[in-house]
Structure 1
Amino acid sequence: MIRLISTSLTLLSGLLTSSLLAQPSVIPADAQRAAQAVRPDAIRAHMRFLADDALEGRKPGTRGFALAANYVQTQLEALGMKPAGDNGTYRQAVPLRRWQVREGTSTLTLTRNGKEQPLAYGRNFILSPNPDLPASDVSAPVVFVGYGVSAPELDYDDYAGIDVTGKIVAFVNGAPATFPSNQRAYYSSAKAENAVAHGAVGVLSFNLPTDLQNRLQSAAPRARQGIYRWMDKQGNPQRTFPALKGTASLSDSTARLLFAGASTSFDDALLKARRNQPQAFPLNVWIRMQTQTEVVEDVAGQNVVALLPGSDPVLKDEYIVYVAHLDHLGIGRPVKGDSIYNGAHDNASGVAINLETARLFASLPKTPRRSILFVGVTGEEMGLLGSDFFASNPTVPKEKIVANLCLDMPFFFHPLLDIVPYGSEHSSMVKEVTAAAKFVGVQIAKDPIPEQAVFMRSDHFSFVRQGIPAIYVKSGSQTGNPNLDGTKLNLDWRATIYHSPQDDINQPFDFNAAAKHVQLQFLIGYLTAQADQRPIWNQGDFFGTKFGKSAVKP
């Protein structure tokens, strides 16, 4: 059986090679030969090891994660990659800490017309830990602010005309569907920051009633595990909002309670939100949130960092960073008799593809002009923590990192006929993406699931936040089978397999499609490393304006 699989993969690789040889290209011959040498069976082998039960789901701080990190390090070391972590090693220490709400002494009380109504933890609401305040107590009137979004460049502001200073704001999760995909993803995830900027002291969030997947009851088990943050050298948690004295998620029925006696009903407010209309108005209610937060554990996180030095005397001091997260969820609640959350697709697949990409780079007769960094990061499942730590505290000069390529759950359950290159529309890297896609023979598509806020959900965004252009390639919706809808397949997988023990190696992966992902990763990075000029943000681009320091001139 193993021999048959290996033979099939070899045939697939041969077909892939002959297909590429038939295409004229401006890509140099050495790079073409390297791309054509991709090995689908090597991707499968890397994934099989990283997603094995012996690694126990690769949770940061565990033996299983250490085994995964050792495996990746030895693979990169065997390819001749140099150590680029701390103190001449292949590792970068990432200090992590976890906080949890002490539920027995944490409360949320609703007061209307002088009458108090205590609510039930876990059924009506869930509080978020506050890493900056072991004990916090806030009581204030509540203002509904629609989606809680302020996007002046899109002529949208839920906070227009209302003062929320010293108040608690309530908002619907998500962002207007009329926003471009990546901006929608950003604004869906920047609610707390925006609330603080407007002077709020607390936030209440809830989902649209139609968003069944993210109902409070579904989110409660994971939320109760607490939150992680990385610590700076002074021992302070990062990416927190000390001005917010209370943060709660509400159930559907509890959110409705807020609107009793308000100028606009719950249903009318949600209708206006669905119509993408800004709105804000006071609710006839006060909320008191009392949150007791305790430190649960410190975790010695680690990133794996390896370097392929560039060949150009000047440009070798600039870096292209490949990143994929090593971690997954460890051992958890049993589902269908299995408690090991192997994370084969999420994200043994991305690590395996980047390892094969590293091999293609190592096979070149001459290394690219710029240097290449391969980084296996920790704590992505905890909130992009390892990549945020690296991008904020890189082991090379930050200003010399010119581009990032991220891979996470690329989705290769069918032939790769089109791709969604998240980020390519924001910078000059669109040239490299277009050239690589043409060579590999895939079309470029738009985001088929903008409501999933994909652009904010993996490690590339840690680099965007530091002003570094980034590319995050995922499969599109074409399958080559008129009876198979790629978008439905993707959404069904997210609803049934994602973040469950069933994300193991025994899924119907298409390793020929995975090999195309390797070729795309390799060629985009190679062309970027060879270019005379470093990538720059497009003139007036949202992310370039917000985070970047350079932009394409008109």
Structure 2
Amino acid sequence: MKFALTLNVLLLSFSISSAQDKSGIPAEARTASQSVKPEAIRAHMRFLADDAMEGRKPGTRGYRLAANYVISQFEALGLEPAGDQQTYLQKVPLRQWRVNEENSSLILIDKKGEKPLVLGKNYNLSPVYGSEKSEVTAPVVFVGFGVTAPDLNYDDYKNIDVKGKIVAYFNGAPAAFPSNQRAYHGSAKLENAAAHGAVGVISFSLPTDVRNRMESSATRARQGTYRWLDKDGKPQRVYPELKAVVSLGDSTARAVFAESGHSLADVIAAANKSIPQTFPLNFSVRVKTETRSGGDIAGYNVVGLLPGSDPVLKNEYVVYVSHLDHLGVGRPVKGDSIFNGAHDNASGVAINLEAARMYASLPQHPKRSILFVAVTAEEMGLLGSDYFASNPTVPQENIVANLCLDMPFFFHKLVDIVPYGSEHSSMAKEVNTVANYLGVKVAKDPIPEQVVFMRSDHFSFVRHGIPAIYIKSGTETGNPELDGLKLNLDWRATIYHSPQDEINQPFDFNAAARHAQLQFLIGYLTAQHPERPTWNPGDFFGNKFGRKPSGKGQTETGK
């Protein structure tokens, strides 16, 4: 009996070894991944989400303490400084702008006369960057979702001239669009409006869209907005052609269709069917916006380098990114005013630190170099990652891939994953190879309406033509009594961006460890591959942003 058991164990060991040999993952990488330490992830999170970090808001003492902690971990792992001037820090110049409500206004003008609206109740204004005082009076035209997508045979601007006019549109994008294209077009509306000659925009939400309600957006608007500055001190990702950027509350939005000859119910029905629609609203608006600078902040990204081992490929880089910042200290909720951000995103930083430890344990570094970047100001609009991707501390054309981690969601066993971005590039091969090896399924986006693909730092790299992967947990839990999708949505509704996002939540750190293995192995295979990752032929993001040959042996980003 004892001999039979021993033989069975030997046969099982041989079977597992053979299966691993066929996995496509080198033995040294498998060994490193098996050394993953769930307790290390928990320890990193516990420190970064502690009250002493004061919510890690950029420009604060707490953020600098968190940055120093990441630096100490990089040093302990032997990562080289890869920030500014041979340090681990890259300065990110940030400036805040706020609307001065006392000197700002919006008036509706129609055949019945003028009707002033109440700022903060009927509408909100966004700053007009680079212009302290902006005033515009123009007719308003409705342009559906405000989307132009020729690849999807959709254009809300097709039958109307909006030059010199203010365009009004629903937030979001047509539900018929593929998830990631929907995410992109839903976020590119200011750029699209400016390109069509509009002088202002007015946005409002469909009844089913609760993400931009006046109750929450008014509070956010009063906190001001930030942009990063270029070397000349000019704010980036702004559209000076737009002299007014307005968002309307629900009841006010309903009123603007009164004189248009179109019922709001019919307009909503067409939007829900993804039908383009454009028509004049038969009124004008006069908008005054006074914008004041709220001051500058010295933000910092933390950058560490694991040099590659190949004499040629070491000059190319796989970049890991996770945002270190959170919301700081705010108005108390349930007696707590510190927005600790344990899941958002101490978790992503902690997991990437554990992936870095696995890299450091390898007997030989991968062929390409690995950059680990803990970025600032994600909560202010992906600003730290956008600054790094636009002003990298290594040659931009030599960044070949990005792996992002932000709120991966490990409140249950990791059964399946949603690898946002993998369907767009050759990195799908590495994702599938590693998922198969670790025994997790690859699933589709279960919440396309949340436009996740646009909402974290990987997209800053996509903008520069760099293939990127952003992995989150799927909805399967391994427990028939536990609905993973409901758990996710409930967390977003009750904990997300609140002081209750603390380390004492019921995290599954074994699932977090599996995320670390995914991060490490996907990046390792990418760093070892003889060829750079490539966009899939005909891919939307590849066509829009992908790099094209420059004729000098390098690449340039397509426009």
For the aligned pair, the TM-score class normalised by the smaller chain equals: over 0.9
Distance in 2 of aligned mates of 1:44 and 1:380: 22
1:506 to 504, 507, 511: 504
- Whether 1:311 and 2:309 are equivalent positions in the alignment is yes
Q: For the residues of structure 2 that align with 1:209 and 1:97, how far apart are their CA atoms?
A: 34
Residue identity opposite 1:53 in structure 2 = D
> 2:217 maps to what in 1?
219
**Residue aligned with 1:72, SS:** helix
Instruction: After the TM superposition, list the runs of 4 or more consecutive aligned residues in structure 1 that deviate by more than 2 angstroms.
Output: 17-24, 210-214
| Aligned with 1:437 (options 420, 435, 438) | 435
Q: CA deviation at 1:210?
A: 2.4
Equivalent residue number for residue 165 of structure 1: 163
| Aligned equivalent of 2:121 | 123
CA-to-partner distance for each residue in 1:54-104, whole Å, 9 max, x for gaps?
000000000000000000011011100001011111110100000000001
Residue in 2 that maps onto 1:271: 269
Name the structure 2 match of 1:343: 341
For residue 305 of structure 2, give the secondary structure of its aligned residue in structure 1.
strand
The one-letter code matched in structure 2 to 1:186 is Y
Q: Secondary structure at the match of 1:433?
A: helix
Whether 1:362 aligns to 2:398 is no
**How do residues 167-246 of structure 1 correspond to structure 2 at under 5 angstroms?**
167-246=165-244
Measured after TM superposition, the shift of residue 22 of structure 1 is: 8.5
Partners of 2:140 and 2:264 in 1: CA distance: 14
Q: Structure 2: 5+ residue runs without aligned partners?
A: 1-12, 550-559
CA offsets 1:92-140 (integer angstroms, 9 cap, x no match): 0100000000001100110110500000011100000111211100110
Q: Distance in 2 between matches of 1:276 and 1:130?
A: 31
CA contact (8 A) 1:132 1:240 kept: no
Q: Distance in 2 between matches of 1:324 and 1:428?
A: 22
Q: Which runs of 5+ in 1 are unaligned?
A: 1-16
Q: Find the aligned partners of 1:166 and 1:378 in 2 and give their Cα distance.
A: 37
Distance 2:15 2:419 in 1: 22
1:73 and 1:503 mapped to 2: Cα distance?
A: 24
The residue aligned with 2:58 is 60
Q: Say whether 1:132 aligns with 2:98.
A: no
- Superposed, which structure 2 residues align to 1:27-176 within 5 Å? 27-113=25-111, 115-176=113-174
Q: How does 1:284-323 map to 2 (within 5 A)?
A: 284-323=282-321
For residues 448-493 of structure 1, give each alpha carbon's deviation from its aligned partner in whole angstroms, at most 9, with x where no partner exists.
0000010000000000001000000000000111121111111111
- One-letter identity of the residue aligned with 2:539: D
Q: Tell me the equivalent position of 1:540.
A: 538
Q: What per-residue deviation string (whole Å, max 9, x for no partner) do you get for residues 16-64 of structure 1?
A: x999878532210000000000000000000000000000000000000
**Does the residue aligned with 2:56 lie in a helix, a strand or coil?**
coil
Contact persistence 1:319–1:401 (CA under 8 A)? yes
Alpha-carbon separation, structure 2, partners of 1:146 and 1:172: 6
Pair 482,77 (structure 1): closer, same or farther in 2 beyond 3 Å: same
Provide the C-alpha distance between the structure 1 equivalents of 2:132 and 2:51, rounded to a whole number of angstroms: 37
Q: Secondary structure at the match of 2:266?
A: helix
Q: Is the 8 A contact 1:342 1:503 kept in 2?
A: yes
Match of 1:376 among 371, 374, 377: 374
Deviations 1:411-466 (A, max 9, x none): 00010000000000101111101111111110000000000010000000000001
Distance in 1, Cα, partners of 2:210 & 2:535? 37
How many Å separate the matches in 2 of 1:154 and 1:541?
12
Q: Which amino acid aligns with 2:119?
A: Y
Question: Deviation string for 1:143-188 (max 9, x for gaps)?
Answer: 0011111100001111111100000000000111111110010011
Residues in 1 aligned to 2:475 and 2:18: alpha-carbon distance in whole angstroms: 25
Between the aligned partners of 1:521 and 1:121, the Cα distance in structure 2 is: 46
Q: Percent identity?
A: 70
1:122 & 1:41 partners in 2: Cα distance? 46
Q: Distance in 2 between matches of 1:213 and 1:200?
A: 25
C-alpha RMSD over aligned residues: 1.4
Counterpart residue type for residue 405 of structure 1 = L
3-state DSSP of counterpart to 1:96: strand
Structure 1: distance between partners of 2:192 and 2:532: 32
Question: Equivalent residue of 1:214, what SS?
Answer: coil
1:20 and 1:440 in contact (8 A); partners too: no
Following the alignment from structure 2 to structure 1, what is the Cα–Cα distance between the partners of residues 243 and 15?
59
Q: How far has the Cα of 1:214 moved from its partner?
A: 2.8
Deviation at 1:549, TM superposition (A): 1.6
Shift in CA distance, 459/404, structure 1 to aligned 2, threshold 3 Å = same
Cα deviations across residues 215-252 of structure 1 (Å, max 9, x unaligned)?
Answer: 11122111211110000110100000000000011001
Which of 405, 425, 431 is matched with 1:427 structurally?
Answer: 425
Task: Give the aligned partner of residue 8 of structure 1.
Answer: none
Which of 393, 411, 414 matches 1:413? 411
2:414, 2:17 → 1: CA distance?
18
Alpha-carbon distance in structure 2 between the residues aligned to 1:504 and 1:284: 50
2:392 corresponds in structure 1 to 394
C-alpha separation between the residues in 1 aligned to 2:75 and 2:215? 45
Which letter maps to 1:250? L
C-alpha contact (below 8 Å) 1:57/1:331 kept by paired residues: yes
Q: Structure 2 vs 1, CA of residues 99 and 220 (structure 1 numbering), >3 Å: closer, same or farther? A: same
Quick one: which amino acid aligns to residue 443 of structure 1? K
TM-score (norm. length: structure 2): 0.94
Give the 3-state SS of the residue equivalent to 1:473 in structure 2. Answer: strand
- Give 1:266 deviation, angstroms: 1.4
State how far apart, in whole Å, the 2-side matches of 1:213 and 1:456 are. 15
Opposite residue 521 of structure 1, the aligned amino acid is Q
Q: Which residue of 2 aligns with 1:331?
A: 329
Name the counterpart of 1:3.
Answer: none
Structure 2 SS opposite 1:233: coil
> Per-residue displacement from partner, 1:247-298 (whole Å, max 9, x unpaired)?
0110011111111121211111111101110100000110111000000120
Q: 1:483 aligns with which of 481, 484, 489?
A: 481
Q: TM-score, normalised by structure 1?
A: 0.95
Partner-residue secondary structure (3-state), 1:316: helix
Query: Separation in 2 of the partners of 1:187 and 1:483?
Result: 37
SS at match of 2:40: helix
